[in-house]
Structure 1
Amino acid sequence: MSDRTTSGLPLRQLLLAVGEPLLEPAAGSLDALVQGVGIFDPDDETGSFAGELVLLVGVRGRGAVRSVRAAARAGAVAVVVKHGGGLDDLRAAAEDSGTALLTVGPRMRWDQLQTLLREVLEAASLAAASTADSGDLFALAQTVAVLTAGSVTIEDAGNRVLAYSRSDDEIDELRRLSILGWEGPEQYLALLREWGVYQRLRSGEEVVRVEERPELGIRRRLAVGIRAGTQHLGTIWVQEGAQPFAERAESALLGAARLAAVQLLRRRSPSVRPREDLVEGLLEGRVSADLVAGHLGLDPSAPATVLAITAREVERDRSEHELHRLEISNVVSVHATSYRRGALVATVGSRVYAVLPDADASLPTVADHVVTVLARAGTRVQAGIGSAVPALGEVSTSRGEADRVLDAMARTPDRHVATISDLRAEILLDETLSLLEENPDLRDPAVGTLVAHDAEHGTELVTSLLAYLDALGDVRAAATGLHIHPNTLRHRLRRAKAIGGLRLDDPRERLVCHLQLLLATR
C-alpha cells in the first residue's frame, strides 16, 4: 500500500525535518528523491513502490531481510525497519539492493510515523508550489546560509516556514520543530513576543540579535524583518552552528531581506511584469528608464554603474551550469542590495549584471568580496565594472564597458576584479586588433611576408622584431628578454627589414607594423 503525496523531497532533507533519533540512517545514500510513503506487509501482495519511502511492518531483525529486498525490487528508494537486531544483515541486503536503510525505535507506531512523513512531504510540496512563480526562496536561504555561516529559515508574516537551508551542522530543537511543523512552536513564539523581538523586527530595518538560551535548547540567532514600505511580510532567521557567524553576516541579512520582499510581493501579484525582464531590457537599451523606474520605484535621474560577473570555468553538464549561474545570481543579489537599496540584478546569457545607483569608490571592494565568497563555494568568477553614467537611461553604456572589461580579463585569469579604468589600454588594443583581424585588406603585406618566412625556414624574425618594438627600440633590453646577444638581435632586425621591406623609421609605419605583429602572435 502506498500514498504518493509530493513531487519529491531529498531523503536527507526529509530526515532533517523529521529529526534524529526518530529516524536514523543505517545504510545507503541520502540523496534519493522521496515522492511518497508506502507500507509493506509481507502478508499482502506487493505493488509498486517507485520513488517511495517504505515502512516494513510486521517484520524486524533478520526476518526483515526478504522484505528489504522485495521492497527494493518494487522501486523503494528507502526502507524503514524497527530496531531488533540483525542490523548487519539488513545493511548488506539494502546495499545489495541499492536502497537506503533507516531504523526507528521499537515503540514508534507505524501509523504515527506514516502520518508524520506524509505531513512533511505535503508541506514541502506546498512550499515548492507557493514559490514556483516568485523565485527560489530555498536557493536564497541556501545562499544566505553560506554568507552568514549559519542555518537559515525564511518565514511569512504568520510565522509559517516558507523555505530553509540545507544544514550539515548541528541544529537546535527550535529549528527542528519549525521545519517539522512548517511554523514556529507557539511556546517559543510567545517568548519572542515577551522579549520584544517581534516588535523590533516590525518597527524598522535592523538585524536583531537573539542570545542563546541553553536551558531551552535554543542557540544564538540573527533575525531581520522582510518589509515592503511599512508592511511586514515575514522574517529571515539564522541559527548559529558550530562556527561563529561570518563577519559580514548582518550585511548579508539586510540584502537578503530586500530580495525576499521582492519575491513575496511578486507571489501576491503574479500579474506584475517580472523584475528580471525589466532589468534585462534596461541593460540592452530596449526598455525605457522611466518604465523601469516607475515599476520598481527608482529615481531615473540617479547616476548608476554596472557590475558584470561571469564564471570562468564552464561546466559540461547543463544542469550543473544552471545551478552555478543561479548561485552566482543569488550571491550577487544579496551583496548588491546590501550595498545599495535600489540595486537591480539580472542574468543575461552566461553573465550576471548588477545596476548600482550612486556607486562610490568602495564598489571594487564589494565586487572582490563577492568573488571571494563564490571562490570559497567552489565557483571561480571574474568581475568587471563599467564607468558611472549620469542617469538610469544610460546604463547600457556602462554595461557595454563592463562586458569589455570581462572580455579583456579572459586573457588574464589571475585577475579577479577590474574597472574600465584599470584595463582601458588593454581594451582599446584588443578592439583595434579585432578590427585588423576582421579587415585583412587593411594589413601591411610586409608583416605577412615575415610570418610566412618564419613558418617556412624556422626563423624567429617575428618574435625578434616584436620584442624590439615592445622595448621601444632598446636593443639590449630586447635581447635580454629573448636571451640572445644584442648583435644576434641586430642581425635579425636587418634580415627582417630586408625580407619584408619594412620602413621602421616612419612612426606611423612602425605603429602599424607593431599592431600586426601583436595580431600575428595573439
Structure 2
Amino acid sequence: MRAAMNHRPQASLVHVMEELGGTLLEVVAGEVSADRTIEAVAIHDPRDEPEAPRNAIVLGVGLEQSDDVVQVLTRLGLSGAAGLVVRAPFAADDELRAAAHRAGVVLFSLSPGTTWAHLAGLFRALMTPGGPDDARPVTFGGILAGDLFAMANAIAALLEAPVTIEDRNSQLLAFSHAQESAAPRGRQLPPHYTRLLEETGVFQEISRSDDPVEVAPSSETADSRRTVMAVRAGDEVLGTIWVASPAPLSEEHVRVLRDSAKLVAMHMVWQRTDADVERRLRADQLRSVLDGGPTAAEAARRLGLREEPAVVLALSLHAPATDQLPHAALAAERKRVADAFSVHLLFAHPRSTVGLIGEVAYGVLPVTATTTDAEESAVRLANEFLTRVRSSQQPFIGIGSVVQETAQLPRSRSSADRALRVLRAGVAERQVARLEDVHAESLLLELAGSSRDVPSGPLARLMAYDDSHQASLVDTLRAWLDAMGDVTLASAAMFVHQNTFRYRLRRVAEVGRLDLDDPNARFAVQLQLRLLAITTER
C-alpha cells in the first residue's frame, strides 16, 4: 500500500452507502454494519507491502481477478481495514463472499466512468467532521466541487452554445451566461412541454441512452434544436444537460458533452454530500436545543428560533416485518422523509426547523394560536404530511405539548417522544397522536417496561384453566370489565345469551377466586389484562 492520505476521522460505512450507494458504490460482498467506520483512505499497490491503517477504505486500483481480491481481503482483514473498492463490473463467487465474511471487510464496486481521484475526494469530504471550512477546497475538473453554474459556463464555452443543467425532475439547477442572455427557452422547459416529452417517450430515450439525444425544434423552444445528455452515476440518472444549438453537434462536441456529463455527475453527488454537512450541523444544533443546558440558547439563535410559543413534532419510520431494509437503505429513507418533513413544516411556518437525531426527525414548529388549537393544528399538519409522503416504511408522528419559550422545548420533546413510543409499539391504531390522546397507553408501556412480572393471582389461574379446558373465562372477564359490569352489553360482545354469560361469570369468580364486588380486585386484574395486551401487541 502507498502511504495513507491523512484525514481526520470519521464516517460510518452506513453514511458512506447513504451518500454514494446506488450511485457510485455497490456492495459486492460483506455486510455494512451500523457501528463500522472509515478513518483513512489507502491505495492498493501490489508492489508495496499490502498493509493499510486500521478502519481504512482501500482503493483496489487494477484489481480485477477474483483470486487476487480474495488474497487482498484476507490481508486487509488482519490489519483491520473496513472496506475494499474494486472497479465494476465485478461478480462475487462463494469463495470471495466467504473471504469477505471471514476478514470482516466489505467489498464495494465502483461505477464505470468514475475516477479513483474523484472517489477519494468524496471519501475525504464524508470524513470531514465539521463544516466545509474544515477541509481544503475540493475541485472536479478544475472547478470548485458543487458549482454547477461554473460547470454550465465551462460546457457552454467548449460547445459554443447555451447550456442548462436540470435534475431528474426537470427542475433547473444551473444555466450558462449565454443561456441567461439568450434565454431561448426561458431557462426551463414549461411544465406542459415537459409532460409532452414524457408522454412521447423522449425522456425515456434520454435515460436509456449513453449518447446525447436530439430533441426536435418546437414553438416551446423557440425553434431551437436541443441536444440532451443524461447525467449518470452508475445506473442512476441524476439529471440532464441541455444544449441549444442551431445545427447538430459535431463528433468532437458530442465527445465533449459525454465527458462533461461525467464531471457534472461528480458535482451533483458532491452537492448531496455538502447538503449532508449542513444537515448534520443543523441536527447537532437542534439536539442542543432539545436537550437543554448551557449551549441551548446559542444553538436556538443559530437555528433562527425566537422566544415564542412552539411545539415539537417527532417523526419516526417503522419497518414492517415483511419489508426490512438494510441499514444503509433505511438510513437513506429516513433522511429522504426527514427532508420532505422539513419542507412541509417550512410551508406551515418559515421559522420552523427539522433535524434528524438518531432514528427520529424532530421538528420545532412555532405557533400563534391557543394551546389546544395549536396542538390540534399540529395534528392536522402531521396528518396532511402523511397523506402526501410515500415510503415503504410506515411513518409515525408524536405531537408534543405547546411551550411558551425555547428553554421549555425539552419538555415538549419529552411528550412527543412518549406519544411516538406508543405509536411505534402498535398499541394505538393511529399514526399521529398527542400525549394526551395516548396517555394511558404511555403509562402502561412505561409500567410494562419496568416490570418483568408475569400474570399472577386470579388472572394466572383463569389463563391456566382456559389453556387446559379450552374455555374462555379470561375473555368473559375482559368483556365484563370493558362493559363496566353491564351483562347485557358484555354478553352481546361475546355473542352469547345473557344467562350463559352470567354462568361463565360465576365460573370466573370460582376458578379465579376473584371477588368481583371488590373494586381493588377488579382494578388489579384489569391492570394485568391491559399490560398483557400491550406486551402481546409489542
Q: TM-score, structure 1 length as denominator?
A: 0.52
**Match in the other structure for 1:189:** 180
**Match in the other structure for 1:364:** 379
1:294 aligns with 2:309: no
Taking a change above 3 Å as real, the CA distance of residues 362 and 126 of structure 1, as seen in their structure-2 partners, is farther
**Match in the other structure for 1:215:** 223
CA displacement, residues 314-370 of structure 1 (integer Å, 9 cap, x when unaligned)? 635222222222222222222233333333323333222112222744433332243
1:418 aligns with 2:425: no
**Match in the other structure for 2:317:** 311
**Match in the other structure for 1:110:** none
1:175 aligns with 2:165: yes
Structure 1: 5+ residue runs without aligned partners? 1-6, 15-29, 34-47, 52-74, 79-93, 95-116, 138-153, 162-171, 198-210, 220-236, 241-259
The aligned amino acid for 1:310 is S
**Native 8 Å contact 1:467 1:478 kept in 2:** yes
Q: What are the equivalent positions in structure 2 for 1:152-301 lying under 5 Å apart? A: 174-175=164-165, 184-191=175-182, 213-216=221-224, 274-286=281-293, 288-299=295-306, 301=307
**Match in the other structure for 2:496:** 484
CA displacement, residues 139-191 of structure 1 (integer Å, 9 cap, x when unaligned)? xxxxxxxxxxxxxxx97596557xxxxxxxxxx97337999xx9633310224
Pick aligned residue for 2:332 from 323, 333, 341: 323
The aligned amino acid for 2:492 is T
**Native 8 Å contact 1:11 1:31 kept in 2:** yes
Q: Report the Cα distance in structure 1 between the residues aligned to 2:225 and 2:117, rounded to whole angstroms.
A: 28
- Using the aligned pairs only, state the percent identity: 26
The aligned amino acid for 1:381 is P
The aligned amino acid for 2:463 is V
Q: 2:401 is paired with a residue of what secondary structure?
A: coil
Q: Report the Cα distance in structure 1 between the residues aligned to 2:167 and 2:301, rounded to whole angstroms.
A: 42
Deviation at 1:465, TM superposition (A): 0.7
Taking a change above 3 Å as real, the CA distance of residues 129 and 362 of structure 1, as seen in their structure-2 partners, is farther
Q: Report the Cα distance in structure 2 between the residues aligned to 1:285 and 1:326, rounded to whole angstroms.
A: 24
Q: Report the Cα distance in structure 1 between the residues aligned to 2:382 and 2:292, rounded to whole angstroms.
A: 24
Q: Report the Cα distance in structure 1 between the residues aligned to 2:327 and 2:182, rounded to whole angstroms.
A: 47
**Native 8 Å contact 2:126 2:273 kept in 1:** no
**Match in the other structure for 1:500:** 512
Q: Report the Cα distance in structure 1 between the residues aligned to 2:465 and 2:178, rounded to whole angstroms.
A: 86
**Native 8 Å contact 1:310 1:350 kept in 2:** yes
Q: 1:307 is paired with a residue of what secondary structure?
A: strand
Deviation at 1:520, TM superposition (A): 3.5
**Native 8 Å contact 1:344 1:354 kept in 2:** yes
Deviation at 1:449, TM superposition (A): 2.6
Q: 1:473 is paired with a residue of what secondary structure?
A: coil
Size of the aligned set, in residue pairs, is 344
**Native 8 Å contact 1:134 1:263 kept in 2:** no
**Native 8 Å contact 2:286 2:303 kept in 1:** no
Deviation at 1:217, TM superposition (A): 6.0
Q: Report the Cα distance in structure 1 between the residues aligned to 2:327 and 2:27, rounded to whole angstroms.
A: 20
Taking a change above 3 Å as real, the CA distance of residues 341 and 447 of structure 1, as seen in their structure-2 partners, is same
1:398 aligns with 2:412: yes
**Match in the other structure for 1:222:** none
Deviation at 1:469, TM superposition (A): 0.8
**Native 8 Å contact 2:184 2:224 kept in 1:** no
**Match in the other structure for 1:243:** none
Deviation at 1:467, TM superposition (A): 0.6
**Native 8 Å contact 2:476 2:505 kept in 1:** yes
Q: 2:516 is paired with a residue of what secondary structure?
A: coil
1:409 aligns with 2:423: yes
Q: Report the Cα distance in structure 1 between the residues aligned to 2:224 and 2:415, rounded to whole angstroms.
A: 55
